[in-house]
Each structure stands twice: as structure tokens, then as C-alpha cells.
Chains A and B, each alone.
Chain A
């Protein structure tokens, strides 16, 4: 058979027109190339080359700029940061554990912890982060912050699955608008400090109790979520796997339950979910030693110590941190006395 016959399928004999076609495609694609270059240079998650053009402090402000950005941005930032410098002590959880100050823990114990608290984190995220951390280093202390709200079959979104493709193949970021916006805001905060300060102020405002926000959380993250409840067999099974693995590998696993405001218990009661909540507590306590602050105590009864139903103020988080990591024998359940002392002077 002639060579022409084998090659003709892929040959074009008018290269000028092909060149014109490719030139037009290039022209059309300039906007995509520029966008990719922009994301690459700003590098909002320090994934490409740890760009120093924008400081890490600004990038951290950027990842917390909005409720929409926070879950995925925190998850991506932390997954990337942890992968570069894994630590054997970790805290996994949601927005409540995000504010645990690892410097306090270092002062108390001399050990370095990595805080994997991700706003919007749920049991899928806990599972995935635990196994990812375990694959990166030999774990020693693992604190998992849990709550009843997400212990629900229907709370099955998966932030980890959402961001993991970008850590595996960062070039995918060039094709997702999220990262264009992230890069844009990072640059905006760098050039215009007043916008940056707005985010800081807004986060400070979020630390104050606000009745309209309280009611919004009560409705949207309380009633609306809990009215559709089913026991999460899969989550229990996953936690059990983690607990058994930790026992086998001699990893010190602890669960941590933050206090909720009594308004939350009212919802639980009104929706007849008290038995389910008790079952949650029994499940968690049965898996590993648990620091459970979610009982009727000096914190839970004081609305001034809460930002919303689920989030306590930073001073309470610091007190809890001191209580957990300050004691010599971690693993006992906190006494009512220690909680009262934690809230003294607030």
C-alpha cells in the first residue's frame, strides 16, 4: 500500500488556511490564556509556586471573604498546606473547631497541631481528611470535632470531593470561575487595603451576637436541616473504622462536642429527635473518649456567650482549648465545675 494511502486521513494540503484557523482559535482563546496566567501568577492557594506577590495573610483573608467561598477555599487551602508540611497532631471539624488556636495548644503541650477545621465540614470531610492525613504522616493525636446537626444521612454534601480534583491536578483551576474570582479578590485586597479591612471587620462583626443572624441560623440551619432526618449508618460505620484503625495503630483519638445553645435543644425536642440525639451521643462516646461540652451548663445557658445556636465566642473556644489540652489526663469528660470556671469573667 502506498504511503499516501496510510497518511492521507491526517493530511491537509492547504496549510495557510489551517494556520488562519489556528490563529483564530488562538485569538478566541486569549481570554482563557490570560485567565490561566492570572490564576497562575496570583496563585491564591499557593499551589503552583508559592507566589510571594500576594502575602499569605491576605490569601487567608481572601479564603474567608464570604460564606460561599469559605468551605471550598478553606478546604483547598488546608489540604494543600497540610500536604506540604504534614503534622502528626491534627484537629478535624467544622467552623466551630476552625477557631481553636493551635498556639494555645503548643504553649500548653509543646506539641504542634494542624487545625483542619473547615466551615461547612461534615462527616464526609472528617472521613476523607483523616485518611488523607494518615497517608501523609504517622498520626499521633487526632481530635475530631463532631455535632448532632450533621449526624444525619441527608447531610451528605462533600466538600472534599469538590476540591480534591484541584489538588491532584491544579491546572484544572484554570477552567473554573471560582479560581478566577479568588485570584481577583486576592489582588483586590492587595491593592486596596480598605476592601481587606471590610472582610476583617465583617468577621469581627460575626463574632458578635446579632438577633437577625440568630433567627436566620435558627430557621435555615436549624429547623430546615433537622426536619429531614435519618440515622446515618454510613457515618457511624466510617467513624467506627477510624476508631478501630486508631486503636490498632496506637493513635490517640478523641472526639470533641462543642456546646449548643438551648434554642437548638428546643428544635430537637419539637421535631421529636431527642432519641436520635441520645443515640448520637452514645455512638460517639462509645467510639473513643469524648470531650462533650454539650450539656446543660454555665455556657449553654448564657446567650451572651454565643454568636448563634452553634458557635460560641472566641473566649469560650479558648477556654475549652485550655480545658482540654491543659489537663494532664486528656480523655476524661469535663466537669461542670471546669466549664463554669471557663466562663468566669466573661
Chain B
């Protein structure tokens, strides 16, 4: 009953028009024109996130992993906890509800760390994502006229835009929760330093990946089944994960493509080889690791094209544009903010062993404080035009 209500609401608000339109278009392809009604539905903000959160609560109770709470305040605080309500991390009842009911003490270090994480999240969102966002919009909107090199730059920018936008929001949410004494789960763990696609998905949008693992992949049999079923399961969870992002075939293609990337690793049993910190203890990684990171990044870039494109046709046109003679000319006019992703990569690489780069900086206050002031200065004065968080639409 609970599952039906939750999934029903999600299906109605998010996917009703998509299914009706796709159904009618399919019939139109074979010459049958159906009359139909699509609805002018306004998608409630964050519906995908809190629906999944309540689903996990119901399923965990059904599986007897947790006891149902009798505390209505704690339950609704869990469903509507404001820092992560609209874009996650998608919390589990097992982690969050006990925190509402337990007596809490103000934790000075946790609150301080929360403020630093908020600062870092704001820097990623306002300084990086919002500055390069307009370039991405322009390049994707005019992908038919720009050179291959500009299109390549556009998708690199998008990779950093979506990372900074979404992980920035997660950092702010986790940081705000820490101020109130709550621990939310980690949502990003430096995904662009991943050495293979399996690792990438253990580092990117962790709360969603683990949700699908626990509530879809494992019930389907996970990897303890035959080869074909393993492949089926992988394709299902990646495709559904893509579909979760929105009612558009581009998201489905993005998920499916990631599934395809993952299958070979799983078949040769190497999907859990890289689990620790990338090149732990080293400032400069070895050639092999650089190559692994580079290849993984290129694969994710290729998939991001589908995620960002308006239609599947647009994505193929974009890819065609990249692989043209103009790939080897200097990109037009969009180099101004190229330093921003570089700064991000350097800082995150140096502090990749921490939850976020500003945690426990080993510098005296006279260095740390000016550094924080510089970040605040950048946020207030050099930030891009105010843009909504990308993941609010999901």
C-alpha cells in the first residue's frame, strides 16, 4: 500500500506525460493517430528524493531491518529534514531517525566542520558551477555552429558544472545538518579521481547508488546469479537510475550507457578492485593510475553528453560535432574560466583523503583564516549569475 502510494505519486507527477507522449508517438510511427490528453503537471520540487527516502523506510520495516517509529515528529522530520529535502543525500531511516530521538549535545568540532563544508560547497556551486554554466548552455544551444574543440570543452565544462553544482549542494546540506548536530551520509567522494567505472559509481551520488543496490539490485539477485542475469540486473539498475533523473530518453540512454561501461568490469570480476583512496600517500600518481583516471573520465564525459543534450538526436549531433576536423583548432571564446576546474582538481587531489578539502587543514590560523576569507570573497564577488541547482528539477 505504502509502496503503491509513493510510486503512484512519483509516477503521476514525473512520468505521466512522458509515457502518454511516448505511447502516442509509437502509434503515430505505424500510422495510428490517437487523441489523448497530457496534463499541465507542475513537478513538486525534490519529489524523487523524499519519495525514495520514504520507500526505503517502508521496505526496511518490511524486511525487519528497523522497527517502525511511533514518534510522528521524528518520522516527519526524517521525511522533510530541510537541509537535504530537495536534492539529497537520500537518507535511510536507520541512520537518521535515531538521531532525532537521541538526546543531542552541541558538538563544537562538528559544527565547525559543518561551516567549513558549507563554505566549500558554496565555493563549488557559486564560483565554479555558476561561472561555467552559461558557457555550457551557450555551447549546447549552438552545438551546430561551434567547432569540435569548443564542443569538447563544453562537455568538459558540463562535467565540472554538474559535479560542482550537485556535490556543492550535498556539501551545503551535510554542513547545515552538522550545525544542528546531525550526520548525513556522504554523497560524493571525489568521483573524477576514479580508476574505473565501478569506482566512479561508488563515488558519485553515493546515496542513490547504494539505494538502488540495496532495494533493486540485491532483490533481483545481484551478482549471485548466472552471467546473463547479472548482465540483466546491471542494465536494469543503471537504466532505472537514469530514468529516475527525469522523464526523457536522454537520461535513459545515459544510464544504459553507464551500464554498458560496467558490464565488462563485472564479467571479469574487476569491478571492486579499486576501492581505496586513489594513489594514497602520493602527490603525483603513477602513469598507470593517470591513464586509468583519464580513460574513466573520458567515458563519463561521453555519457554526460546524453545527460545534458535535449534529445537523443541532439546528443548524436553533438558527438558528431566533436569528432570533426575542427576538433584540433583552438576553442572559440570560452577559455576564460578554464582555470576554475583546474583549481578544483588540484585542491581536491591534495585533500582527497578527507571528506571535504577544508576539513582539518594543517595550517596555522593566520593562514587558514585568510584562505577562508579568500573563498568568501570569491563567492560574494566573483560568483556567476544566480542559477538554480540542477538537481532541484529531479
A residues with a Cβ closer than 8 A to B are 1, 5-6, 8-9, 12-14, 17-18, 20-21, 24-25, 28, 31, 175-178
Contact = CB atoms under 8 A, between A and B. Distances in A.
Given A175-B380, A176-B381, A178-B381, 12 more contacts: A1-B72, A1-B73, A9-B73, A12-B104, A17-B105, A17-B107, A17-B108, A18-B106, A24-B112, A25-B115, A176-B380, A177-B381
A21 B179 CA distance: 10
A14 B105 contact: yes
A160 to B, nearest CB: 15
A272 to B, nearest CB: 21
A177 B105 contact: no
Interface of B: 71-73, 77, 100-101, 103-108, 111-112, 115, 180-181, 369, 372-373, 377, 380-381
B108 A6 contact: no
Contact of A177 (B71, B72, B380): B380
A5 B380 CA distance: 39
Contact of B73 (A5, A12, A21): A5
A12 B107 CA distance: 9
Nearest to B370: A31
Nearest to A11: B104
B77, B111, B112, B372 interface centre (most CB from chain A within 10 Å): B111
Contacts of A12: 104-106, 181
Contact of B100 (A9, A13, A31, A175): A9
Nearest to A161: B385
B380 A21 contact: no
Nearest to B379: A175
Contacts of B106: 12-14, 17-18, 21
A81 to B, nearest CB: 25
A5 B76 CA distance: 13
A297 B335 CA distance: 44
Contacts of B77: 9
Contacts of A175: 380
Q: Which A-B residue pairs are the 9 nearest by beta carbons?
A: A12-B106, A177-B381, A17-B108, A175-B380, A18-B106, A14-B105, A17-B106, A14-B106, A21-B108
B103 A5 contact: no
A20 B380 contact: no
A24 B72 CA distance: 36
Nearest to B181: A12
Interface centre among B372, B373, B380 (most CB of A within 10 A): B380
